[in-house]
Amino acid sequence: MDIEIWFDFASNYSYLSVMRIEELARARGVPVAWRPFLLGPVFKSIGMDNSPFVTQKLKGAYVWTDMERQCRKYALGWTRPASFPRRSILPARIATLADGQPWQAEFIRRVMRLNFVDDHDIEDSAALSQILDSLGQDGQAILAAAESDDVKQALRARTAQAQQRGVFGAPTFFVGDEMFWGNDRLDDALDLAAGQR
């Protein structure tokens, strides 16, 4: 059975899972299904107008120390973003447009690095086009396609599906109907998926 990873490009804990999931899943023989969505509408639906890491001072102070520790643990690059959470609509549209494409996973990882290593605006069209071009794609054509009504609606539908399935944060993993929330539950989700193959 595959593992679905529901993530937002603005989510720091999604970064940790996105950068590790394919290698861990491959070792267990588990396919990965990427599910980009937007956390903003999910938060609004449960009465939150921003990330809890912004609205709750103590939690916010803790999380940046925790991210430094986690990135050391996993040997991942890390720069605390100067702007958090960053707008992530355009890369989420591109990643949605890329469903099923062989370049989807690497695009997702490179955008995560752009945000959490390079500390760069992830809605910068030039930077996204450069990533796409480096993956052998036509960056300008994909950027234009990402602005189409069909792609916008697909991302809205994906975000609505997240809400319908009970997603309240990112990353969230599904193995069938079993939901796991948080980077620290990735191994549990993968073990279940591997056991059901």
| Residue 133: predicted pLDDT | 98
The answer, yes or no, to whether residue 62 has pLDDT greater than 80, is yes
pLDDT of residue 49: 63
Q: What is the pTM of this model?
A: 0.92
CATH number of the structural domain spanning residue 77: 3.40.30.10
Between helices 149-164 and 89-97, what is the axis angle to 10°?
A: 100
Tell me: the pLDDT tens digits for 25-39?
999 999 999 999 999
Instruction: Tokens 């490009």: give the residue.
Output: 9
pLDDT digit string, tens, across residues 169-179: 999 999 999 99
**Based on the structure, what is the number of domains in the chain?**
1
Round to whole Å and give the CA distance between 183 and 20: 10
- Rounded to 10 degrees, what is the CA torsion of 191, 66, 109, 151? 90
Range of the domain at 174: 3-195
Measured CA to CA, the distance from residue 193 to residue 4 in angstroms comes to: 10
Strands 32-36 and 3-7: parallel
